[in-house]
Amino acid sequence: MKKTIPTFTSDEEAADFVAAADLSKFDLKGQMVTFELRPKDKTVSLRLPDGLLEKIRVRSASIGMPAQRFMRLALEKAVMDEGKR
Instruction: Give the model confidence (pLDDT) of 32-79 as tens digits.
Output: 656 666 778 889 999 999 999 999 999 999 988 899 989 998 998 898
Looking at the fold, whether 44 and 82 belong to one and the same domain comes out as yes
For residues 2 and 24, give the distance between their C-alpha atoms in angstroms, rounded to a whole number: 9
Phi, psi of 27 (to 5 degrees): -85, 105
Looking at the fold, whether 44 and 85 belong to one and the same domain comes out as yes
Looking at the fold, whether 59 and 46 belong to one and the same domain comes out as yes
Q: What is the domain range of residue 25?
A: 1-39
Looking at the fold, whether 3 and 33 belong to one and the same domain comes out as yes
pLDDT tier, 8 (very low <50, low <70, confident <90, very high otherwise): confident
Looking at the fold, whether 44 and 6 belong to one and the same domain comes out as no
pTM over 0.85, yes/no: no
What single-letter amino acid sits at 8? F
Looking at the fold, whether 51 and 83 belong to one and the same domain comes out as yes
pLDDT of residue 2: 77
pLDDT tier, 83 (very low <50, low <70, confident <90, very high otherwise): low
* Count of domains observed in the chain: 2
Looking at the fold, whether 13 and 52 belong to one and the same domain comes out as no
Strand partners, 78: none
Query: What SS3 state is found at 18?
Result: helix
Looking at the fold, whether 31 and 59 belong to one and the same domain comes out as no
